[in-house]
Each structure stands twice: as structure tokens, then as C-alpha cells.
Chain A
Amino acid sequence: MFTNLTKLDLKDKPSLAEAGSPKLCMKALPGEGAERSCAYDGARVVLMPITDAAHLVHGPIACAGNSWDNRGARSSGSQLYRRGLTTDLLENDVIYGGELKLKEAILEIAAKHQPKAIFVYATCVSALIGDDMSKICAEAEAELPIPVIPVNAPGFLGDKNIGNRIAGEVLFERVIGSGDVSAEKIPLSINLIGEYNIAGDLWGILPDLKNLGITLQTAITGDAKFDDLRSAHRACLNVLICSKSLTNLVRKMEIRYGIPFIEGSFYGIHDTSATLIAIAKALQDPDLLVRTQAYVQKRERETRAIIAHHKKRLENKQAILFTGGVKTWSMVSTLAELGINILAGGTQNSTPEDFQRMKELMDPTAQIIEDTSSAGFLKIIAEKKPDLIVAGGKTKYLAHKTRTPFLDINHGRKLPYAGYEGMVTFAESLTRTVFSPVWGYLRAEFPPVGG
């Protein structure tokens, strides 16, 4: 019943592990406190930003109830994707099966919410009780004018990465190229893969693309409309933003539709420019390349001028960086741009390639965080005493307890950090936390010694 995944390529390359990468994407031990997530979470992260689709979770309340509408992926149009929809499997459903309920739910949601498509997510419980979700989705689809797409990534399959990959397979098999039969390429068009428009990140990149005359066919899947995704095969180039988890998708699109892909990042001045130039080169338009080179120079100059006073204040501050995916290495150069040194870096949900890239960019004396549990994280903060911590939201309140300035760079944040505009916002945010007056109050003894 599960999507047959192509072998994970990292297994074929033992050399990277030997080159000193920690064991990434390895099984977490029961009780060790790894604090990762599950395959279902990975699948929803990739697919739920599709704005005009309904996302129905076939499971008990824990899977949707604790998590709906909790990510910062933003939409310029339909808000349907923010609706929490679940079959809410109850005791009797576990005993008698949830197939009938699921079919009814699909039909009712189609009638009430008029979605462009319905994605139906399997969960641990629906998989265990043996509900044939693919069959039910096919039956419902036959009665409806819209696609009903099963996403078979129950939580126990593994952690987030595997769910990301399954979501990529679903997009490839069921969405891309499914409605739009034209194979004609749209001139100078790209897909941004792994860009989820967190806090409006995508909107910080779009003006630059527009100024250069590059058309965004669709992001996969930030602020994406279902019909635009169906035509994603007509783009000239795939730009892979969130590194490896969707590599399978771009490889398959290359084979089936002849779309080449490049990797890039829009975090920081350096990476934004490098990515724009790489896009121009890959689109093989000499005029575009010349335009882009001049453009990025101008934008770099402007941006550096705006952030100069922040850099002056932040220079030589010592940071601990803890994140995942593309941000693993992209944040290293972003922080370096502001003159910030990295004392220690760690990652979750990153591939050995991402990790090696981070390591190469960091100072050789920087420490690699091996123990990614809260306990390990606290230990390294106590040892290193950094001036600031740059990490995901789930470590935010932990970091605050250590009385250390903290910046959230993951999905819970409210401000966009991508592109040149994002770099300015990022620098402002860093300055606000590092130089906030509150840290002094927290570190001061009370009552004062001898006072």
C-alpha cells in the first residue's frame, strides 16, 4: 500500500559518514529524547501549503487536532488549506474500520468547501486497522469532479524526511502534468521547490524574479494553487530550495519532462545572488545573465549599505546555529555576512551533503553538535556561552531559560528572511534580540550582592 520509494542515495555513499558526519536520519532510540517528528508530519509540511485544496487527515484527533493551522505558510488567495479537517477516528471506527466514514467525509467536504482537490492523509491508526485508503479515494473520485489523492505516509514509517519524500512522489504521480496536457515550455519560467512561503518568504523573492523577467510557474508548494502545480511540468527549470528531501521529485521531473534542476538558497546576500546567477545561467539566456549580474551587484550594494550599521554592532558576536535542511549551510554564510562567528553548529533532518557543506563553511574550530536532544543542546550552551542562538522555534523557550538572545529561523516565525529584503529583516531581528535591554536584568543578581 505504501509508495515504493527509490533507495535513499545517502546509503550508497558511505564515504560521507566516514568523513565525519554525525549519523543523520538514523533511527532515534526510545527514551533518548531525540525530539524529531514523524513521516505524516513530513508529508503535511510539503503538501498542506497548497492553498485551494482540502487536506483531510484520516486518523484519531492527535494527528490533526494538535497541529492544524500551526505553520506559518502564507497564502495570497484561498484560505481553505488552513482548515483543520479530520475523520476523527473513534473507538468504534478502530474496531469496525473507518472506510465508510472516510468516504462520507470526502463527499461532504467536497460539497461544503468546493476544493480544487482533496488530499487524504493516512495516519498510524488508519494504516494499522487496515483501511484501504487508495480504494476509498478512487471510489470518491469517481463520484466527484475533482482529484482525491491519497497520501500514504503514516507516522511510524520514519521521521520527517521520509514523509517529505513520499509527498514528493505524490506530487509527481498525481498532480504534476495531470490536468494540463500541453508540453510547451513557458519562457524563462522556474519552479521553486521546497519553498513553503513561511512568513511570506516567497514574497521577498518574487520582486527580484519579476525585475529580472523570470516567471515563477509555481512554488512547491508555498502559496501554490492546485492548477499551477498541475502545470509545473511546463517550467524550464527546477530550483531546489529546501535541499535534499525533494531531490527525487526533481530527478523524476528531469527524466519525464526534461526539466533540469539546480540547487540554491535565498537566505543571505551571498546565496541569494549566487542562486539568481545560477538560475540565469541554467535558463541559458545570455541577455538574462548579463542583466542578472548587473542586478545582483546593485542589490548587494544597496542591501549591504542598509545593513551596515547592524553589521557594525553584530560583528564578532559568537553564535550557536541549530537547524535543518538547506538552512544548515545557508545560515552559516548569512551569519558570516554580518561578521558573526559560529561556535558550534548542529542539524536535524539534514543529509550528509548538507552537513558537509555546513562544515566546510564553518571555522574548523567550530564544534559539531552531536546530541540533538534538549539535554545535549543545553549542555553545549552552558559550555560555549554564545552571544546568540539561531535555531528553530521548538528550542526558543529552552534558549530563553539560558538567558541567551535567540532568533527563530524555522516555520513558527512571523517575519520573512528570504532574499535581499529578508536579509535586512534578518539583520534587524538579530540586532533586536542581541541588544535587547532585558538580558541584563535577567543576568543581574537580586537582591544585589552586598546591596
Chain B
Amino acid sequence: MMNARSYQGNPQKNSPALGATLAFLGVNGLLALLHGSQGCSSFIRLQLSRHFREPIPLNSTALLEDSAIFGGWEYLKKGIAVAADKYKPQIIGVMSTGLTETFGDDMVSALSSLRSERTDLLDLPVVLASTPDYIGSMQEGYQRTVESLLTTLTANSEIAEEVSGSSKAEEDSKARGQSESLPAVVLLPGCHLTPGDVDELKEIVSLFGFQAITIPDLSISLDGHAELEAAPLVQGGTLLEDFRRLAKCRACFSFGLSMEKAGDFLKRTYGIPHTNFPSLTGLAAADSFILTLARLTGRPIPEKVLRQRDRLLDTLVDFHDQLGKLRVAVALEMDLLYSLSSCLAEVGAEITLALAASPAGIHRLSLPVPIEVGDLEALEEGAQTSTLIIANSNGRQAADMLKKPHLRAGLPVFDRVGYPQKCWIGYEGTQQFLFDTLNSQSK
């Protein structure tokens, strides 16, 4: 149906560079620099700002007409140098765009050329993420950026530990009140998780007695807190030192199929056992995560968690009839599409339509209906018999036209408040998601 068209009508896709921005925004002291024209960064700032209701620090190499002829290589060198001099970031994160990937700008050689000219910048970590606008969606851009963050910033991890013994990083983390006696685990949340979700994830892990290193950590950068001052750099998020402590972690958990590769990198490079959880929403998904944690610690499941599970079970019983009547059309980025749809299918709801923003993972994830790649015009065409639409705020045109209730999820959500803080995972988040779904059916 949707593949027959030569255009996207009301796209649900966000650009890969927007996903890259999101990942970079979870790393403390980082300056995000988009290699492209000024509109690329302007649109991303506006889109993320109206979703998170936060200022979005995103710089640009501000390409102009001459770059279309000569390429943007020199602009990139200059951009990194100017940003480093003016803003003194701890890390610079660069993402490419359709424009610069079409030129074929080689970011790696630009960086090494700059470093040979500016030896004072040799020690400044620069993370390069290749995110051409014409490949994939937000999820792919975010995924590639997390992979680049890991490969670039953990580079000297083991060596640093060996040489310095009790490293400065350890002292710093002690100073921050983290006890080194707690075993550490790495959490790699996908872009389908909100800052509220990441917060909950860290909470669950700490109930099992783990200290978490979360990459990226949006729960302390884009959680919408009244900080002391805004800055052109990311404030909050994963610390640079934490990347260098990764090698010592007991285990790595990645969330969303898109994060599997990043976790596998840590397993391959540092021998950290890695488990991927495609979803954390729904009873089976939450059980799988909780049981994994319990096995790893050898401890019983905490009372609080068991209580939350019992509450969820009670909700399932109380509302099984209403849940069974739901006919839901879902259009979201793949990992979130899979998480929410599989949760609904598990409790007896019918998924009538599952539209992914891009094909990533389409052959490995399965739902009771075939997953299709499609836009929100396809949602309009395919959701006629549904009783509920789940999509980002841009689904409002389809919902208005079909006169269906519309539960907002994903990004952007700009016409409802509180979405960055909302939690959709674990027993409690699942229960809340089902409540929202059921309430949407009330007249």
C-alpha cells in the first residue's frame, strides 16, 4: 500500500541527524556540532525544543554556496576549531548531513588535518557520527552516534586503568558519593526511551544493588529541571570519566534492538557480558529484565518490584475485557512500535496496523500483523476500523480526519505536556500505559 507511493505524506520519520543530536545531548560537557547548512540545525533545535521544552544546544558548520562547489572539509575544520576556542567543551560531537555526505566530506581526515595544525587540540575528544539524511530515521542516527561515542571515548579505557591504578576518575566518582563497592553495569537505552524511562531503569537497577553507567543519560540532561544556568554545552548526562570506567563493568544491558550492536561492541572489545532487551514494556518484557537482574545478583527480587508486578497483574484481570476490545493502529519508530504493540498484543488487544518509520530491524522483530514501513498518510488509509491511534503529535491530522482517539507517543509530542517525563517501562510504566490506553476510549 505505502510502498506504491513516490512521496511521503505527513512523514513520521525524523532525520537521522536529529537522532544523533538526541544521543549527544545525553553526554555531559559535550558540544554538538552539525556539519551542514544552518537550516539543518535550526529545524532540529526547534523540533527537539518543542518536544522537551528545553533549550537545545546545537552548533553548526553553517555551510554556504561555495561549499557546494569546494566541499565542506575546510568548514568542518574551522567549525571544530572555532567551537573549541569559543566554548571550551570537554568533548565535541560532530554529525554529518545529507549535504556533506553527498559531497563526500571525509570527516576523519578533516579532524586529523586539524590536529596536525592545532596540536593544542590533540587531547580534545571529537566523536564523529555519520548520519546522512537519506539513510534511515531518528533511530538509526541515534544508534550510529551511540556506537561512535563508545568506540571513540572508551578507546584508552583499559590502558588508563592499568597505568594509573587508582585513577582520577575513581577519585572523582568517590567524591560524587558513589561507592566503588557497588558493582557497576552499563545501560544502553535506545532512543525510544524517555528521560523518565531512563530514570526508572536506573532505579530498578539500583534496587538490585548495582551502580549504573548509562550511555547516553538523558535522565539527567533532558529531564526538564530548573538548572542554575543554561549553556551552549550539554549539562548533565554521562560523564567523560564514565566512558573510561566502562571496561570494569560486570554486565551490559542494551534496550531496543537498535542498541544491540553497541552492546556487542563492548562485549567484543572488553569482554563484558551483554544482553539485549528489545522491549521493556509489557509483562513478559519486564519479567525478562527483572529475572536477568535477579540471576546476575543471586539475590531475591526486591519486595517493591514484586509488589509492582502484582499491581500490574491485578490491572490485567480487572480490565481484560476492555483490553480485549481494543483495535489499535500504531505508527512509530521501530523500537517503540515493537515495545508498545507487543505489550498490547500480549494482553489481548488487536493490532490492526503497525507502521514503522524506517525498515531497521524489520526482519527480526515480529508482531501479530506484518510490520510495514509507512507515513501518516498510510495511517489515515489503514486505520479506519481501529478504535485507537498511537503515533507522535503529527498523527493529529489522521486522528482528526478519522475521528479516532489519539494517544501520543514517540517524538515529537508538542500538543500534550509532560511526555519527556512520562514512563512507559517496567511493571509500573506498563500499568500506566495500559491505563492511558483504556482512558482514551472513554467518551
Contact = CB atoms under 8 A, between A and B. Distances in A.
A102 to B, nearest CB: 8
Contacts of B388: none
A300 interface: no
B118 to A, nearest CB: 13
A56 B15 contact: no
A7 interface: no
B386 interface: no
Contact of A397 (B53, B78, B80): B53
Contact of A35 (B8, B45, B137): B45
A41 B50 CA distance: 17
Given A41-B43, A66-B18, A442-B226, A88 B7 contact: yes
A127 B79 CA distance: 24
B83 interface: yes
Interface residues of B, number: 70
Which residue of A35, A38, A39, A65 has the most chain B CB atoms within 10 A of its CB atom? Answer: A65
A375 B63 contact: no
Interface string B25-64: 0000000010011111111111101100111010111111
Contact of A129 (B87, B102, B227): B102
Contact of A31 (B8, B47, B79, B97): B79
B93 interface: no
Contact of B9 (A83, A89, A90): A83
B6 interface: yes
B56 to A, nearest CB: 8
A104 B6 contact: yes
Given A35-B45, A86-B7, A412 B50 contact: yes
Contact of A62 (B50, B65, B98, B103): B98
Contacts of A28: 38, 60, 62
Interface in B1-33: 5-11, 13-18, 33
Nearest to B85: A31
A396 B7 CA distance: 34
Interface in A30-52: 30-41
Interface in A223-250: none
A128 B68 contact: yes
Contacts of B49: 393-394, 396-397
Interface in A117-174: 123-125, 127-129, 154-159
A430 B365 CA distance: 51
A67 B37 contact: no
Given A33-B59, A101-B6, A401-B229, A61 B38 contact: no
A84 interface: yes
A27 interface: yes
Nearest to B54: A397
Given A66-B43, A85-B8, A31 B86 contact: yes
A105 interface: yes
Contact of B78 (A30, A63, A442): A30
Closest 9 pairs between A and B when the two form their complex, measured CB to CB: A38-B39, A31-B82, A30-B79, A62-B15, A104-B6, A60-B133, A31-B79, A31-B83, A401-B230
Interface string A368-397: 000001110010001000000000011111
Contacts of B134: 60-61, 89-91, 93-94, 125
B82 A29 contact: yes
Interface of B: 5-11, 13-18, 33, 36-47, 49-50, 53-55, 57, 59-65, 67-68, 75-76, 78-84, 86-87, 97-99, 102-103, 132-135, 137, 226-227, 229-232, 394, 397
A285 interface: no
Contacts of A89: 98, 134
Which residue of B40, B78, B134, B227 has the most chain A CB atoms within 10 A of its CB atom? Answer: B134
Nearest to A66: B43
Given A35-B45, A67-B43, A402 B11 contact: no
A298 B86 CA distance: 54
A59 interface: yes
A398 interface: yes
Contacts of B78: 29-31
B226 A401 contact: yes
A82 interface: yes
A64 interface: yes
Given A38-B37, A38-B39, A60-B15, A33 B86 contact: yes
A68 B54 contact: no
B39 A41 contact: yes
A69 interface: yes
B135 A91 contact: yes
B98 A30 contact: no
B75 A65 contact: no
Which residue of A33, A63, A154 has the most chain B CB atoms within 10 A of its CB atom? Answer: A33
A93 B102 CA distance: 11
6 contacts: A61-B13, A83-B10, A89-B98, A401-B230, A403-B226, A442-B226
A29 to B, nearest CB: 6
A65 B14 contact: yes
